[in-house]
Structure 1
Amino acid sequence: MPDEQGPGRDLKSFVLPEIGQLLETADPWEPYQLLDPFGRPVQPAAVYLKDLMAADSSPLTPRSYGMDLLRWWRFLWFFGIDWDRAVREDARDFMLWMKLADKPVRVHWRHRGKDTAKVPRLGTHAGRPLPGTPNAVTGKLTVGTKYAASTRAHCETVLRAFYDFHLERNTGSLLTNPFPLVRNRRSSRANAHHNPETGHSRQRTGLYRPKVPKRIPRQIPEDKYTKVFAGLRSHRDRALLAFWVATGARAEELLTSCQSDAIVGQQTIGVIRKGTRDYQELPATPDAFVWLRLYLEEAWRKGVPRGPKQPLWWTLRRPWRPLQYDAARMMFNRANELLGANWTLHDLRHTATFLMLDDPSMPPVYVQHILGHKCLSTLDIYNRPTRDDVIAAGLAHHARQQHRRENPPPAPPTPAYNPESLNVLFGSSLP
């Protein structure tokens, strides 16, 4: 591997090599392992991920952090840099590469080992909008060829926290964090000396951390939702969609439900919350339980395991396995393709929130509790007009202006003088 440092590094032609991997072990003590190109565990990453597990993080946190660490280690492996010898220039080049370079294109596993110029790549299917362009149905941008700002921000935060962790432990020959804070507060936290009587000023934490645009929640219009629902292939998929829109639960939260969690008499379904891992019962619609009953009757006849502690959602084919998030996402994407849309499962949660907040008899504090938000102020993002509302109001305004131009109001009548007043001023009229 080349040993290049600083200004001599050619980032324009650099392609991140697919060496090493993040291995899912199915071991609750160490669910994910970062392996080097020779299949050996990377010990600094293993210690850090173990500390995350001890801090009661979500089970998905080690995977999310591990992918960022794997991307950074591949950069270090290519340029022959030891992880504890990385300097600020290395971190700068890495974040600059993530900002300007295209994401590595992955070849589907069925085509690996073949001529890559003749096989389709992931995300380049014919008939779909070009990467990074708005979808004609939803108005949402499609996945682009560059790393998203949120991805780069998450990666910078993870790597800075990783090096802070090892600096506190005095690991190896590490002397400084290659991912520094903003210059004006490298040795303090954000707003450390804040006056509580004044508002907080927005400050970026990391020097190389990008600005992340605020996401606008998207609501699926009722007519489009009906078409998506009609495109589903099974009672299971219809039940899932009905529960997501009725409860506002996150996609992965609903998939944690057991068969005893669906209480028809109370019209509620229990889920495990993503952040707190608390169990919570959520109200749902009668239609959702009708689709659920149809799905369970069909699944039990086919041999799906039955029992109060058995998972509620299963695959549709043998061997029976609990339904995972990726499979549910692919199911929804197939229904999306019928309309040429690119809504996500999380948009169903936004749709449920809009429906609840549009009900004047539904107190916002109840909506907050149903959604599992910590603060009521989190609902402020739903007070903004949606894209469809803004476009509809703008089109209505232009239609009114066009109507006024084509149908101008009649001119007001010309005012006439009172004859009696004229007689007083100029005398009587001539004979």
Structure 2
Amino acid sequence: MPVEGRPVRDLMSFVLPEIGELRETGNPWEPYELLAPTGQPVEPVMVFFKDLMAADSSPLTPRSYGMDLLRWLRFLWAFDIEWDRAGREDARDFMLWMKLADKPQRVHWRHRGMPPSKIPSPRADRPAPGVANSVTGKPTVGTKYAAATRAHCETVLRTFYDFHLERNTGSLLVNPFPLARNRRSPRTYGARQRAMEQQTGRTGLYRPKIPKRIPRRIPDDKYAEVFGGLRSHRDRALLAFWVATGARADELLTSLQDDAVVSRQTIGVIRKGTRDYQELPASTDAFVWLRLYQEEAWRKGVPRSRSQPLWWTLRRPWRPLNYDAARAMFNRANQVLGANWTLHDLRHTAAFLMLDDPEMPPAYVQHILGHKYLSTLDIYNRPTREDVVGAGLAHHVRQQQRRENPPPVPAAPAYDVQSLNILFGGR
């Protein structure tokens, strides 16, 4: 049955087409551009990106927003719908498809252009999608879009259409991603959207509920095994600094050679949100591994200058180490244990270690981690999976011990013989 002149879509068999592209330009004025299937930039998206950059957003913000916009535009292009002609039914079907459909399988760049029969099948020893890892307890990446991904996408698209409604762009009349009337959300993505929803007390109609995540720490014994699986002094120095400073993974990669000050035992980083420069205290071991890495790298010919980046690739041509390469390095170390920890778990581990120290004030931990509010440390007061499971197992052991060795039954109360003799005259 048609809906507003459009046929009912068969979302069960719909496959998102691989058309269009989000491309990095290398231009600081427009770091990313979204291309239509014709190869031309999508002008409404480029104007939106320019507004984001003018609002002092990170250069990675257009990339994050662009992935959501590209997914939505591919959905519209598949049904030959212009972006400013999309209605609420289109937004509803898109969010329903993201909720129930399987994510499109990415083709490795080495296998692009190959016929399907030539593409190798996934390794048999890999865990099934969505199954909890036996070492970490964290679920592997599932076949469906995560609730956080869908929530981020809904917020980005609603913000995109609100931006163009304010500018009266094209033939756009209403936002296809409406606000719900009686739904409240304690937390949303983006400062602009968060402020708006705090004022109105409303959130997106199609926005899913996001489960609260419990931060995970890497146990000391497992951390030692991961550390032992690293292949170079550079990787050991990186891991030591991540756990010692609590810096985000990409923040540590912004350090220059002059930022590592051995005399003060600090390393300088550029903060992710504010982009302020901050010195972070680090451990002695981290600087030992750093010195070993630098001596080895300089002998090989890595550029040596105070203004040069601190972290470089291990092979020629020398390039500054980026986040994707660092993540690949840590994933290789994870494979030795069969674990699926992430680089951000190293930051959580550092936070737990600092908060476990009774002589470390939480306000200092907040400043080291770069959190805006002290209340953000409350997530580390929640019991971890290991704590809960360990406490539950200890309870069952105590119960079993009580059943096997019951405590002695106390004797029935009786009168004292000496007291009776005094009372009855020694009879």
When the two structures are superposed, what TM-score results if normalisation uses the length of structure 2?
A: 0.92
> Quick check: 1:6–1:90 contact (8 Å CA) kept in 2?
no
Give runs of aligned pairs for residues 29-428 of structure 1, distance below 5 A: 29-120=29-120, 124-184=122-182, 189-192=196-199, 205-413=203-411
State the alpha-carbon separation in 2 of the partners of residues 220 and 422 from structure 1. 67
State the alpha-carbon separation in 2 of the partners of residues 237 and 149 from structure 1. 33
CA shift for structure 1 position 112:
2.2
CA shift for structure 1 position 425:
11
Q: Deviations over 1:359-409 (max 9, x none)?
A: 010000000000000000000000111111111111111111111111112
State the alpha-carbon separation in 2 of the partners of residues 342 and 384 from structure 1. 22
- Pair 1:204–1:390, CA change in 2 (3 A): farther
Q: Which residue of 2 aligns with 1:22?
A: 22
CA shift for structure 1 position 226:
0.2
State the alpha-carbon separation in 1 of the partners of residues 5 and 399 from structure 2. 63
> Quick check: 1:153–1:210 contact (8 Å CA) kept in 2?
yes
CA shift for structure 1 position 6:
5.1
CA shift for structure 1 position 38:
1.4
CA shift for structure 1 position 418:
6.0
- Pair 1:151–1:356, CA change in 2 (3 A): same
State the alpha-carbon separation in 1 of the partners of residues 113 and 196 from structure 2. 49
State the alpha-carbon separation in 1 of the partners of residues 298 and 356 from structure 2. 38
> Quick check: 1:4–1:79 contact (8 Å CA) kept in 2?
no
> Quick check: 1:107–1:120 contact (8 Å CA) kept in 2?
no
- Pair 1:264–1:120, CA change in 2 (3 A): same
Q: Which residue of 2 aligns with 1:196?
A: none
Q: Per the alignment, in what secondary structure is the counterpart of residue 390 of structure 2?
A: helix
State the alpha-carbon separation in 1 of the partners of residues 417 and 397 from structure 2. 45
Q: Per the alignment, in what secondary structure is the counterpart of residue 279 of structure 2?
A: strand
CA shift for structure 1 position 170:
0.5
- Pair 1:185–1:234, CA change in 2 (3 A): closer
> Quick check: 1:136–1:341 contact (8 Å CA) kept in 2?
yes
Q: Deviations over 1:19-61 (max 9, x none)?
A: 0100111111111110011111100000000110111001110
State the alpha-carbon separation in 1 of the partners of residues 299 and 132 from structure 2. 44
> Quick check: 1:258–1:309 contact (8 Å CA) kept in 2?
yes
Q: Which amino acid aligns with 2:404?
A: E
Q: Which residue of 1 aligns with 2:192?
A: none
State the alpha-carbon separation in 2 of the partners of residues 326 and 397 from structure 1. 43
Q: Which amino acid aligns with 1:54?
A: A
State the alpha-carbon separation in 2 of the partners of residues 301 and 352 from structure 1. 32
- Pair 1:351–1:425, CA change in 2 (3 A): closer
State the alpha-carbon separation in 2 of the partners of residues 91 and 247 from structure 1. 43
Q: Which amino acid aligns with 1:91?
A: A
CA shift for structure 1 position 110:
1.7
When the two structures are superposed, what TM-score results if normalisation uses the length of structure 1?
A: 0.92
Q: Which amino acid aligns with 2:338?
A: G
Q: Deviations over 1:293-339 (max 9, x none)?
A: 00000001001011001000000000000000000001000000111
> Quick check: 1:248–1:348 contact (8 Å CA) kept in 2?
yes
CA shift for structure 1 position 141:
0.9
- Pair 1:257–1:420, CA change in 2 (3 A): closer
State the alpha-carbon separation in 2 of the partners of residues 407 and 108 from structure 1. 61
> Quick check: 2:260–2:267 contact (8 Å CA) kept in 1?
yes
Provide structure 1 residue ranges, at least 5 long, that are not aligned to the other structure.
194-202
Q: Which amino acid aligns with 1:271?
A: V
State the alpha-carbon separation in 1 of the partners of residues 112 and 49 from structure 2. 30
CA shift for structure 1 position 127:
1.2
Q: Per the alignment, in what secondary structure is the counterpart of residue 398 of structure 1?
A: helix
State the alpha-carbon separation in 2 of the partners of residues 329 and 419 from structure 1. 80
Q: Which residue of 1 aligns with 2:10?
A: 10
- Pair 1:426–1:384, CA change in 2 (3 A): same
- Pair 1:8–1:310, CA change in 2 (3 A): same
> Quick check: 2:183–2:202 contact (8 Å CA) kept in 1?
no
- Pair 1:425–1:253, CA change in 2 (3 A): closer
CA shift for structure 1 position 83:
0.5
Q: Which amino acid aligns with 2:41?
A: P
State the alpha-carbon separation in 1 of the partners of residues 96 and 341 from structure 2. 30
> Quick check: 1:247–1:284 contact (8 Å CA) kept in 2?
yes
CA shift for structure 1 position 114:
2.5
- Pair 1:425–1:288, CA change in 2 (3 A): closer
State the alpha-carbon separation in 1 of the partners of residues 91 and 269 from structure 2. 41
User: What is the identity percentage for the equivalent residue pairs of Structure 1 and Structure 2?
Assistant: 79
